Amino acid sequence: MINKEIKTIEQAIAGIKSGMTFMFGGFGLSGIPENAIKAISNSGVNNLTCISNNAGVDGFGLGILLEKKQIKKMISSYVGENAEFERQMLSNELEVELIPQGSLAERCRAGGAGIPAFFTPAGYGTEVQMNKEVRVFNGKKHILEHALISDFSFVKAWKGDTAGNLIFKGTARNFNPLMAMAGKITVAEVEELVPAGELNPNEIHTPGVFVQRIIKGDAFEKRIENRTTRKKN
């Protein structure tokens, strides 16, 4: 067993540099690596390219890095929940590349799976197709999309073991397993960290081979973006 446990979040993010490309797991605020984001903010690195389905909200999630102007470019599918993001984008302080959500997921998966590019129908005939090769398969037009990889991927799981194996909970899984695959160095933060051997191998979602460092997160706020409920009866 290769022990991947890291004790402090500063050690977990060691090696990050300005100008790097980072991936962040999560959908909205669900399943985001809260502890790594705070530590990256404190480290002061900037000029980052950040790949994440969303860009957080004002003051939370990737909103923290946006506020400190650490992000040069965002690659996302949906970014509409953040006033500071909007301000930076409209004033051209922030580059933004929007990608269909399924293409973003598959580009991360492909990056981790050693597939350099693939054809998808999503985006054909739209702005997304610009400068991309088009081919017809089974009578339908598809566009060529390239794989994505990162210098560091930061992911969040529910449980993990010291071998780096991960189990996710609910819809907090989302992009985390794919981005874990696509990181040159993948840092996983978990709510519960157990010794290798304690997780049932049948129930592991992300094999530890994709994870280089694992740490038990200090605190998870797990903020809810859009609280919707019904009344009993």
Partner 1 sequence: MALDKNGIAKRIAQELENNTYVNLGIGIPTLVANHIPKNINVEFQSENGVLGMGPFPFEGEEDADMINAGKQTITTMPGAVLFDSATSFSMIRGNHIQLSVLGAMEVAENGDIANWKIPGKMVKGMGGAMDLVASSENIIVAMTHTNRKGESKLLKKCTLPITGVNCIKKIVTDLAVVDVTLNGFKLVERAPGVTVAEIISATQANLIVDGDIPEMIL
Contacts of 16 (CB under 8 A, 6+ apart): 22, 40, 43, 45, 151, 152
Q: Which one among 178, 187, 211, 215 touches partner 1, defined by CB under 8 A?
A: 178
Residue 78 φ then ψ, to 5°: -155, 125
Please report whether residue 14 would count as binding partner 1 according to CB under 8 A.
no
Please report whether residue 152 would count as binding partner 1 according to CB under 8 A.
no
Element containing residue 185 per DSSP (H, E):
strand 183-194
Q: Are 55 and 66 in contact (CB under 8 A)?
A: yes
Q: Are 59 and 81 in contact (CB under 8 A)?
A: no
Please report whether residue 201 would count as binding partner 1 according to CB under 8 A.
no
Please report how close the Cβ of residue 121 comes to partner 1 at its closest, in angstroms: 4
Please report how close the Cβ of residue 75 comes to partner 1 at its closest, in angstroms: 11
Angle (CA) 90 93 99, round 5° = 70
Residue with Cβ nearer partner 1 (7 or 230): 230
Query: Alpha-carbon Rg of the chain, whole angstroms?
Result: 18
Residue with Cβ nearer partner 1 (145 or 161): 145
Element containing residue 104 per DSSP (H, E):
helix 101-113
Give, in order, the Cα–Cα distances in Å from 38 to each of 10, 24, 25, 66, 147. Answer: 10, 12, 14, 12, 28
Which parts of 92-111 interact with partner 1 (CB under 8 A)?
A: 96, 98, 100-106, 108-109
Please report whether residue 166 would count as binding partner 1 according to CB under 8 A.
no
Please report how close the Cβ of residue 43 comes to partner 1 at its closest, in angstroms: 26
Residue with Cβ nearer partner 1 (60 or 151): 60
Residue with Cβ nearer partner 1 (43 or 129): 129
Question: Looking up tokens 């840092």, which residue turns up?
Answer: 187
Residue with Cβ nearer partner 1 (25 or 162): 25
Please report whether residue 77 would count as binding partner 1 according to CB under 8 A.
yes
Q: Are 154 and 175 in contact (CB under 8 A)?
A: no
Please report whether residue 117 would count as binding partner 1 according to CB under 8 A.
no
Residue with Cβ nearer partner 1 (45 or 207): 207
Binding stretches for partner 1 (CB under 8 A): 27-31, 53, 76-81, 86, 89-90, 96, 98, 100-106, 108-109, 120-128, 158, 168-178, 205, 222-232
